[in-house]
Structure 1
Amino acid sequence: MSYNNSDITGEFESELRYLKLLSRQYPTIAEACTEIINLQAILNLPKGTEHFLTDIHGEYESFNHVLKNASGVIKRKIMYVFGDILSEKEIKSLSTLIYYPEQKLALMLKDEENIEDWYKINMHRLIEICRHVSSKYTRLKVRKALPKDFAYIIEELLHERPDRMDKEEYYSEIIKTIIRIGRADEFISAISKLIQRLVIDRLHIVGDIFDRGPGADIVMDTLMNYHNVDVQWGNHDILWMGAAAGSEACIATVLRICARYVNLDIVEEGYGINILPLATFALDWYSDDECFNFRPKIENDMQYSEKDLKLISQMHKAISIIQFKLEGEIINRRPHFGLQDRLLLNKINFEDGTINLDGKTYKLNDNKFPTINPENPYELIPEERELVEKLKFSFLNSERLQKHVRFLFAKGSVYLKCNSNLLYHGCIPLNEDFSFKKVKIGATGREYSGKIYLDRLEVLVREGYFYKNNPAAKLYGMDLTWYLWTGPESPLFGKDKMTTFERYFIDDKETHVENKTTYFKLQDNEDVCNMIFEEFGLNPETSHIINGHVPVKIKKGESPIKANGKLLVIDGGLSKAYQDTTGIAGYTLIYNSYGLLLASHESFESTQKAIEEEQDIISTTMVLEREVERKRVGDTDVGEELRTQIKDLEMLLDAYRKGVIKEQK
């Protein structure tokens, strides 16, 4: 935009106001020119490496190790730099030192005779690796990532080489001095963590941080401290978000799942939520019930007394019955959800212990329902209501849980468009004829579909958490959040029903079937993928859909690559609960300047063995797409933003030169 004095009227006033604001940041022609040159140069740097992970399900040790080793990338960098001069054992040791510097240092130095030489050798190696992984970034970006205590020193070492005669002594003296003054351990730890940070420019979590495994809270702490991360909400995440908002049905479901997987510690110790009222209630009402069908799922390495298991089973059953009642309240309150077929308590014949489903009568394997009134089966008894209120109070007042959920709102969304990739956890509701399914939301019965449907869902979920001064909107948002956990048209769930009641109370497995929705029948169809790309404003020729949610059964011949590479399902079973099904222990999708790679991981035994025995996760990498020309920052979403900034700065430059805005010299 070129400016003359006569132009400063009407339609240009808003641009002028903006340029005046911009001039505060770049008050002179020289500063504006410098920034234009800088941004133009950045456009030609290689794009940063993105890592995509999904379905972590609380497996914090495996997750943390995958981050620390960058899905095998760090070891490959070491092999690239030192592959000709280091043995395989030395490469493993150096890799482990980078992953776990503090813990590994203590072990490595314990038996070392010449500690000073060891420090010198390994510090030089770490600097060389760091120089290699930082080479694709600007000095400013690397400077911002530098650890505060060693920022100046590391920057000097990265940009000066020991083989330059005029700087050889300078370089060596820095290393010697760090060792002499007793700061070598801290330096090694700092530069190792810098390497970890630089090899992953951006981390995408495509849903399901919570449930199953023991450490979702630890995973959340890691993500909150990560330098660049986004989250696409999964059905298990949305369940915890609903619980944190105060949805009683979500709270009951969270506790039921934690009891089922013997994972109540995350509730009590991780989030400080008092579950003693639930234990007391269970003992009062289910003391004479063995609750065999509610025995928790136990891993081989878990050890619990029979007394503990019985109590957990009783708590499990007690909260399950409460969950079914609370879900019934929502279903009756929101008939447009279309979940009337999930009202099952009123279909029980309590006299003969049977239930009638779809015209067929089934015998219940458990007919002990001490808290259910056959005349009004969805009514909470006073003791249940008191328990629910206590639990809700604890969830709403858990500082750590609320902090984690606010982070999910700040960094999360139902879907994300990023660098020609469309990320969402589960699915898009579709009809058999390839069209987007219309879904009713709200009492008015308005229908939404495709992108607009997902956008509307996100707004309502946020209202369910944040609209504390609008009780009706908040309640609807909480009910909708619960629907996203279990509803047939939920893009986070993707099944026709959730047969929780049937799995507990009916032996006939035909009642346990949960059919996947149409999306999963069509996800291998390129035309369907192209239709979705166009709906979300992406180029079908260059874009990919990235999903999690459904574990890929590799050992049964399933492939994560769908629709000729247009759709990628990257749930490979990071959660131990799924590894028998998948045959592997997780995927990482890696998108770097050379193309797309898919790393499949073998199971991770423990952090202790990784440190002591240098047992890394064995990862196999498959190249999905290789770029003919290396991708640059200019080819990314960031590149588009930078070009916009350049255009604005050129407008400011023109305004300075025409005298429309005066320089602030």
Structure 2
Amino acid sequence: MGEPEPADRRYLELLSEKFPTAQTAFTEIINLEAILNLPKATEHFVSDIHGEYEAFEHILNNCSGVIRERVRSTFSLELTTSEQQDLCTLIYYPQEKLRRMKEEGRATEEWYAISLTRLVRLARYLSGSYTRSKVRKAMPVAYAYIIDELLHFTPDERKVRQVYHERIITSIIDTGSADDFICSLASLIKRLAVDTLHVVGDIYDRGPHAELIIERLMRYHSVDIQWGNHDILWMGAAAGSPVCLAAIIRNNIHYDALAILENSYGISLRELALFAERTYQKDDVLSPFEKAISVIMFKLEGQTIQRHPNWQMEGRLLLGNIDKERGCVRIGDKEYELATSDFPTVDSEHPYQLSVEESKVMAHLVESARSSERLQRDIGFLYDHGSMYLVHNRNVLFHACLPMKQDGSFNPVKHGDTLYAGKAYLDYAERVARTAWHQHDQLSLDWMWYLWCGRFSPLSGREVRTFERTYVKDQTTWKEPRDPYYALVSKPEIADRVLAEFGLTGPHCHIVNGHTPVHASAGESPIRADGKVLVIDGGFCRAYHHTTGIAGYTLIAEATGMRIKAHRPFSSIHDVLDLNEDIVSDTDKFEYEERPLLIGDTDTGAEIRQQIADLRALLDAYRCGLLVEHAAH
């Protein structure tokens, strides 16, 4: 081994602080080499949760059916289908199931012993995909030693240790610890069933409890988030964008979900409501409340568009095209009848200027959002664990699209003197989003709104017609033209072009998108471009169930291949407890691996191999005398 470069030498010196002797270095090499040969862990992909907390919680608890499958494979020869469902319910909702068993008088010592034994067996089966160290870290501290004893034994020890294990379980029951122990084992099983959760955008809006979803994700062991357009809207509002905040309030009025703003995040809408009541007519097609915030939003949007002529969105400046006396609006070269002519604060000379009262209302709302500790915490979590896209294990994940031209080339967007397209555009959008959070400058805040609904936004990918949907009677104006990406990416050659943009080539590479509901009832498939493109927005949102025909798609990637899971609507936790009624899921396994994948086949494996190479260099440095070993004291 020659003399290393100065930078390499400094790196080896730093590495030697963690591994001070040759023995510690080669011990770690042996450990890492062994890890490379463990099975690839299971990944779970979800998208477009839209505030539907109960359905999302159940999807996490049953791991999109993975728990049920593992129970079936472990106990198919011993338990009836009903008994398997009963065990699954105990794993999904242990506290609630235990309470129900006690109320019904079925929580006997025999039931506890049988249930604990079954949970231990399932946890033992699942733990085989991980190192003992990782399994121990996943255990609750209070019971880690006992669970570790129950999970591990060699085949030669089985008979000898069976009595030992039975005695441990008897002691757990005798000491009154069985409930806590069952909850701990259920938690461990769910932790081991799925190693990583990917959320491909849109946690917020429509459903009532996005804040509970964020709290749940904060407790999850390993999660990453690819921002959706609804997420970016909330991120912009929390960073101080008035137009983003106005759009959020309007969305939540429209979907009757204002509790998240007022009760969860402490943003009082009283001043806005009082202003609306004294300014707008009642008994109209829209409530005064919705009319007030809609006008404010369209005024702020107009100001934002006027600041950025390069966005080419002048066609969305429609508030100034209203003729209140005639009750119509000019869109393009045609006039359309309005659903309401109640626009008391719109000045025809200055249609996008807020009135004094509107300015006061918005200033109060922006200050409330900026000072909401819970909102700032939740959005901070989105920034810390989120990004515009993720490239991981031969998959590229992004919420909506890469804007394209009709010929399949990437459509550029201009910022200053620079054109951004493809991956570079997503990189730029992420820099802008992070700048808005840290610096709150006008340009970055404006871009947060553009990313929400801009003409060429990669998080939207359509011409948003909110004005027409709010005010225009003629529903032919409501149609929102989509970016060519959505049709083109179903072609394998275009999908390959997108994958190559992120450095992914060859078989078994995929684009994972959300954003666009898959109309399963109309025959649409979430698997496109010969399996290269996976669209997993089904969606969770109850408002879409009647059009999609299902309640969401999720994706499972494991050692043997990938599966799309189509879910039927979730009823309630009570039905799960009363009837052992799980979310019914249809599985479509569309990709099989030639051999089961190992950690060595994944991105984690590549990182481990680099660590091994570094440790071998350190080992050589010790053995050649370039570095001195320091025995631990």
TM-score bracket relative to the smaller structure: over 0.9
Which residue pairs with 1:515 in the alignment? 481
Aligned AA for 2:476? E
Which residue pairs with 1:648 in the alignment? 614
Assess if the C-alpha contact under 8 Å between 1:421 and 1:543 holds in 2. yes
Which residue pairs with 2:284 in the alignment? 291
C-alpha separation between the residues in 2 aligned to 1:576 and 1:336?
A: 38
Instruction: Give 1:167 shift.
Output: 2.0
String of CA shifts for 1:44-87, please: whole Å, max 9, x gaps: 11111001000100000000000000111111111111111111
Assess if the C-alpha contact under 8 Å between 1:48 and 1:633 holds in 2. yes
Given candidates 306, 320, 325, the residue that maps to 1:332 is: 306
Assess if the C-alpha contact under 8 Å between 1:533 and 1:540 holds in 2. no
C-alpha separation between the residues in 2 aligned to 1:179 and 1:503?
A: 61
C-alpha separation between the residues in 2 aligned to 1:332 and 1:264?
A: 30
Give the alignment of 1:60-459 within 5 angstroms. 60-112=53-105, 115-160=108-153, 164-286=158-280, 288-292=281-285, 294=286, 313-441=287-415, 444-459=416-431
TM-score w.r.t. length of structure 2: 0.98
Assess if the C-alpha contact under 8 Å between 2:311 and 2:455 holds in 1. no
Which residue pairs with 2:48 in the alignment? 55
Instruction: Give 1:421 shift.
Output: 0.2
String of CA shifts for 1:81-118, please: whole Å, max 9, x gaps: 11111112211111000000011011113334671111
Q: Does 1:626 align with 2:592?
A: yes
Given candidates 519, 528, 532, the residue that maps to 1:562 is: 528
C-alpha separation between the residues in 2 aligned to 1:109 and 1:354?
A: 65
Aligned AA for 1:394? S
Find the residue that maps to 1:365 and give its secondary structure: coil
String of CA shifts for 1:345-367, please: whole Å, max 9, x gaps: 11112222221111111121210
Instruction: Give 1:161 shift.
Output: 7.4
Q: Does 1:524 align with 2:490?
A: yes
Assess if the C-alpha contact under 8 Å between 2:98 and 2:107 holds in 1. no
Assess if the C-alpha contact under 8 Å between 2:244 and 2:449 holds in 1. yes
Instruction: Give 1:134 shift.
Output: 1.1
C-alpha separation between the residues in 2 aligned to 1:114 and 1:498?
A: 56
Instruction: Give 1:160 shift.
Output: 3.3
Q: Does 1:464 align with 2:431?
A: no
Assess if the C-alpha contact under 8 Å between 1:36 and 1:646 holds in 2. yes
Instruction: Give 1:590 shift.
Output: 0.3
String of CA shifts for 1:485-505, please: whole Å, max 9, x gaps: 11111111011x211111121
Structure 1 gap segments, 5+ residues each? 295-312, 469-473
Find the residue that maps to 1:56 and give its secondary structure: coil
State the percentage of identical aligned residues.
Answer: 47
String of CA shifts for 1:144-169, please: whole Å, max 9, x gaps: 10111111110110003797332233
Number of residue pairs matched? 630
Given candidates 571, 576, 592, the residue that maps to 2:558 is: 592
Instruction: Tell me: CA distance 1:161–1:128, structure 2 relative to 1, closer, same or farther (3 Å).
Output: farther
Which residue pairs with 2:453 in the alignment? 486
Instruction: Tell me: CA distance 1:113–1:46, structure 2 relative to 1, closer, same or farther (3 Å).
Output: closer
Which residue pairs with 2:19 in the alignment? 26
Find the residue that maps to 1:370 and give its secondary structure: coil
Assess if the C-alpha contact under 8 Å between 1:242 and 1:481 holds in 2. yes
C-alpha separation between the residues in 1 aligned to 2:153 and 2:613?
A: 35
Aligned AA for 1:65? H
Assess if the C-alpha contact under 8 Å between 2:101 and 2:107 holds in 1. no
Assess if the C-alpha contact under 8 Å between 2:566 and 2:586 holds in 1. yes
C-alpha separation between the residues in 2 aligned to 1:290 and 1:220?
A: 38
Find the residue that maps to 1:136 and give its secondary structure: coil
Assess if the C-alpha contact under 8 Å between 2:329 and 2:337 holds in 1. yes
Assess if the C-alpha contact under 8 Å between 1:160 and 1:171 holds in 2. no
Aligned AA for 1:348? I
Instruction: Give 1:533 shift.
Output: 1.3
Q: Does 1:16 align with 2:9?
A: yes
C-alpha separation between the residues in 1 aligned to 2:160 and 2:572?
A: 47
Assess if the C-alpha contact under 8 Å between 1:258 and 1:264 holds in 2. yes
Instruction: Tell me: CA distance 1:150–1:161, structure 2 relative to 1, closer, same or farther (3 Å).
Output: farther
C-alpha separation between the residues in 2 aligned to 1:113 and 1:77?
A: 25
C-alpha separation between the residues in 1 aligned to 2:417 and 2:324?
A: 36
Aligned AA for 1:479? D
Which residue pairs with 1:300 in the alignment? none
